[in-house]
Amino acid sequence: MKIFETHAHYDDEKFNDSREEVLKKVVDVGIERIVNVACDYDSCISSYNLAKEYDYIYYTIGVHPYEAENFEISKLEEIYDSLDKTKLVAVGEIGLDYSHDDVNLEVKETQKKAFIQQIAFAKKHSLPIIIHTRDASLDTYSILNDYTDEKDKILLHCFSPTDDLVKFTLSREKCLVAFGGNITYKRKESFFTYLNMIPMEKIVIETDSPYLPPEPKRGTINDSSNLVIIAKKLAEFKGITAEEVAKITYENASWFYNI
Ligand SMILES: [Zn+2]
């Protein structure tokens, strides 16, 4: 099986003792392309460095909503200018995360501002956008509606479907969703109803390694070899084979990242 890993963080310190070994192992199970996703300024650079070192790794730049208070668009432009852009495939992960208790109105406004500015940045440089959204479905929906258009490629990462976001996904030809370990967890019935509404042409797979390991590997450090488990699970829901899932999602991801 030839598999495209659309979202991982191999620069994370959890891989400090095993990075080389893990990146070799995942190739052996069929992972052919990996997008290493940035979440702050440092990881923009470390993602770039990984892409420089491994021919099958690509990188993104962007600032996660957790880091929104440190966000400055000039700093992101500076990073963009300083890097070789041959393997730069997207802006991400950017978005909104209201899941922490201390997210008050002011924090929300700060996150929204960083999100909107980074959407504009992605449009300016003609790059796709990887969205992180958690407990912020309605605001994410409004911002995407107001600040993006039909031409923009948008990927909703670790997709947790809601009415708004499914409606948005189905209304935009260039909007894809990514499923990962989350489809192997026990979820509400509605999760699977939504999953069935989204056609395979709009789906890619990811692990978000080292986070979110699928069942039965919860509690371990996740890595891209677990995409085999995720492909099988998605295949069950869609009534196709894991090989078909791998093939379709590979094509979708290659189109999305333009590689
Ligand atoms: Zn991530």
The mean pLDDT of the chain is 97
Distance in Å, CA 143 to ligand 1 centroid: 20
Angle at 227 between CA 224 and CA 232, to 5 degrees: 165
Distance in Å, CA 47 to ligand 1 centroid: 12
pLDDT of residue 15: 98
C-alpha–C-alpha distance, residues 241 and 132, integer Å: 28
pLDDT of residue 38: 98
**Which residues, in sequence order, are bridge partners of residue 99?**
none
In this prediction, residues 193-219 reach a mean pLDDT of 96
pLDDT of residue 140: 98
Distance in Å, CA 78 to ligand 1 centroid: 23
In this prediction, residues 196-219 reach a mean pLDDT of 97
Give tens-digit pLDDT for 141-200: 999 999 999 999 999 999 999 999 999 999 999 999 999 999 999 988 999 999 999 999
Distance in Å, CA 108 to ligand 1 centroid: 20
Domain ranges of the chain: 3-257
Distance in Å, CA 46 to ligand 1 centroid: 14
| 3-state class (DSSP) for residue 34 | strand
Give tens-digit pLDDT for 112-139: 999 999 999 999 999 999 999 999 999 9
Distance in Å, CA 14 to ligand 1 centroid: 14
Distance in Å, CA 6 to ligand 1 centroid: 10
Give tens-digit pLDDT for 90-108: 999 999 999 999 999 999 9
Distance in Å, CA 237 to ligand 1 centroid: 24
Which band of pLDDT confidence, cut at 50, 70 and 90, is reported for residue 64? very high
Distance in Å, CA 40 to ligand 1 centroid: 11
Which band of pLDDT confidence, cut at 50, 70 and 90, is reported for residue 214? very high
Instruction: Assign domain 3-257 to its CATH architecture.
Output: Alpha-Beta Barrel (3.20)
Per DSSP, helices labelled H in the chain are 19-28, 41-53, 73-82, 105-124, 137-147, 163-171, 189-197, 227-238, 242-257
Give tens-digit pLDDT for 225-251: 999 999 999 999 999 999 999 999 999
pLDDT of residue 145: 97
- Between 1 and 11, the higher pLDDT residue: 11
Torsion region of 72: left, alpha or beta (phi above 0 gives left; psi -120 to 50 gives alpha)? beta
User: Quick check: pTM over 0.75?
Assistant: yes
